[in-house]
Amino acid sequence: MKAVAVLYKPVGLTLGVVGGMVAGVAFKQVWKAVGHSDDAPDPTDKDHGWGEVLFAAALHGAVFGLVKAAIDRGGAVGVRRLTGTWPD
């Protein structure tokens, strides 16, 4: 059981990197749909108000959290299917 956890570490790290890239692409697409612009506002951008900046930050966090959880869970389920052991 301990060996599965050790072997899963590099897989988990790789999934985390891939998840970050997928989340970045997903956020850009979601922002284009709801923000009606290509890029989300920077927190220090003087041309955008508090509401838009904070909404963009909250949406960014939600998309990243959702994608990370989905990829982490999928990786753990895949390891359990392959090895019969849940990676702790």
Question: Considering the domain boundaries, does residue 34 fall inside one?
Answer: yes
- 3 belongs to a structural domain: no
- Which pLDDT belongs to residue 1? 61
Tally of domains within the chain = 1
Distance between CA atoms of residues 31 and 47, nearest Å: 17
Q: Domain range holding 50?
A: 8-83
Question: Within a domain: residue 88?
Answer: no
**Residue 31 within any structural domain of the chain:** yes
pLDDT tens per residue, range 17-61? 999 999 999 999 999 999 778 899 999 999 999 999 999 999 999
Q: How far apart are the first and last CA of the chain?
A: 9
